[in-house]
Amino acid sequence: MATLYLRPSERELLEKLPSALAGACAVEDEELTSFESTSELVVRMRLVASDAHPEVRDFVLGVLHDLQRGKEINPKALARLPHESLPVVYFGMGALGLCALIEVLFPSVRSREDLEGLAGLTKVRHLLLEANASALV
């Protein structure tokens, strides 16, 4: 059984799902709060949007282009990226960006597989928060 690491606002979103679906994953409170600063996220985005990761650079530039034109970002846009590029993208987004993605995706959860995918994102965020916290020591 997958585990969801949820912040209070996300727990509220989980409670809005049908009970049979909401019970498909274990739930733990996300208590870590070592989020990135804006300057840290800027540095990370520059790293992931470098020539070392051209597919990520093109994705990030496309997202920025859409945001500058006032378009909403489709959370399923990540599906266009090669699977092996996702850790790089998640690092660039940071725990803060993953919070936003998780909240945007929650209302679209319709199946156990959707919820397990969301659990994976909460785990990635949890690991980023752990890494951020250890960097402060």
Report d(CA 8, CA 28) in Å as an integer.
11
SS3 44: helix
For the chain, what is the domain count? 1
Q: Which among 6, 21, 31, 13 is positioned nearest to 119, based on CA atoms? A: 6
Instruction: Please give the structure tokens belonging to residue 17.
Output: 């799902």
Q: Is the per-residue pLDDT at 137 higher than 70?
A: no
The domain of 56 spans 3-135
pTM > 0.75: yes
Convert the pLDDT of each residue in 37-86 to its tens digit.
Answer: 988 988 888 888 888 888 888 887 777 777 778 877 777 777 888 888 89
Beta bridge partners of 28: 5
